[in-house]
Amino acid sequence: MNAAILGVSGYSGSALYKLLKEHPKVDKVNLYSRKPRRSLAEAVTAFKNQPEYLQEYDPQAIMAENDVLFLATPAGVSSQLASVFMEAKFPVIDLSGDLRLKKAASYEKWYQKPAAATKLLAQATYGLAEFEPVGTYIANPGCYATATLLALAPLVKEDLLQLDSIIVDAKSGLAGAGKKLTETSHYAYINENAQAYKVNCHQHIPEIVQELQTWNDKLEAIQFTTTLIPITRGIMVSAYAKVKPGFAQADLEAVFTKYYHDKKWVRFSGSDLPAIRDVIQSNYCDIGLSYNPVTNTVLVVSVIDNLLKGASGQAVQNFNKLFGFEETLGLPAIPAWP
């Protein structure tokens, strides 16, 4: 089968291209751009030996020449492109945030861009691969959202937490900020440094809350803070919450085992808390927890590679589910070490 990518020049798009080129069920990867025709080597210098060219964006040609489209476009783009593919019921996996939120007003508040039409938002399926069914148009979750939701899902689904006590401290490497250079992403600034950013206004907050509320409608909000740290890729989420009375470490571990024992891309390690290095260059999410009975507080640590499990890897995981392939097919299972 043939797969199309719009937006290969970004970090997530580039990682997606690499995965699809090595996927045993993908015969050809076709690349498209809204800019004039150019070679892949011009768009991504790391791919200088690859022969592909970026073809001019044409939705009819994309649907005629491919079996699925991956959108790895910046915020505000896919909302303008989605309708033609939805009307044709053509499979799309959208790595942007444009169709993750069900309320247009929420998108406009958090992204400060015009939202997609309400009927399009309603048709998109939020694609948290471990918990949600796939649809024809899949809104791939954000990287912070993936790590946070997988950390909290068992506890929120089982209603084991005091829901007004959830605090998430999330740390990310520089690749999560994308290729565009900013003052805080200069080496001289971020090296040997850490920077809290978008406090209380990160665009992944509403999708996290939206998904948590589908699991437990008593939840109203969470406290969520993001910090940029001087590594290239990877996310560590430290989620804290007060536990309802009557539970111990073993009980909480049993709940996580119940939900994740058969999930091929989630590795639960009990009280052994994971490190970012454990998952880099893989599609795994590693999770561990520690319960403090003195403060009645549980700490759940969740780590992912933000460009794989947090973006392109989960997109391929959803692709596998959509077309009935083995969920691990074409995805890296051996982390980089050292």
> 202 to each of 26, 30, 112, 197, how far by Cα in Å?
35, 33, 12, 8
53 three-state secondary structure: strand
| Distance (Å, whole) CA 105 – CA 108 | 5
Q: What is the pLDDT of residue 175?
A: 87
pLDDT in tens, 251-261: 999 999 999 99
Task: Write the single-letter amino acid at 200.
Answer: N
Tell me what pLDDT residue 183 has.
Answer: 82
The pLDDT tens digits for 127-147 are 999 999 999 999 999 999 999
What pLDDT is stored for residue 181 in this prediction? 73
pLDDT band of 267, cuts 50, 70, 90: very high
Peptide bond into 338 cis (omega under 30): yes
What is the model's pLDDT at position 35? 80
DSSP label of 243: B
Tokens 């200069």 belong to which residue?
186
Mean pLDDT for 192-215 is: 96
Amino acid at 180: K
- Angle, nearest 10°, between helix axes 249-260 and 143-157? 120
Specify the 3-state DSSP secondary structure of 223. Answer: strand
Inform me whether the pLDDT recorded for 276 exceeds 90.
Answer: yes
Average pLDDT over residues 154-183: 91
Q: What 3-state DSSP class applies to 78?
A: helix
Percentage of the chain modeled with pLDDT above 90: 93
Domains, in order of start, for the chain = 2-141+309-322 (3.40.50.720), 143-306 (3.30.360.10)
Give me 76's structure tokens.
Answer: 């505000």
How far apart (Å, rounded) are the C-alpha atoms in residues 96 and 140?
Answer: 7
Question: Residue 18: what pLDDT?
Answer: 98
**What tokens does 182 get?**
């900013």
What pLDDT is attached to residue 130? 98
Which of 134, 143, 168, 276 is flagged as catalytic?
Answer: 143
For every residue of 40-90, DSSP letters joined together read HHHH-GGGTT---EEEEP-HHHHHHH-SEEEE-PPTTTHHHHHHHHHHTT-
pLDDT tens, position by position, 22-37: 999 999 999 999 886 7
What would the pLDDT profile of 45-88 be if each residue is shown by its tens digit? Answer: 999 999 999 999 999 999 999 999 999 999 999 999 999 999 99
Q: What is the pLDDT of residue 188?
A: 86
Q: Give the pLDDT mean for 142-161.
A: 98
Gap between the Cα atoms of 56 and 48, Å rounded: 20
pTM of the model: 0.97
Is 201 in the active site?
A: no
For the four alpha carbons of 38, 41, 47 and 51, in that order, the dihedral sign comes to positive
Number of Cβ within 10 Å of residue 122's Cβ equals 10
Q: Are 317 and 127 in contact (CB under 8 A)?
A: no
Q: Could you report the per-residue pLDDT of 204-237, keeping only the tens digit for each?
A: 999 999 999 999 999 999 999 999 999 999 999 9
CA distances from 158 to 73, 196, 260, 270 (A): 36, 31, 14, 18
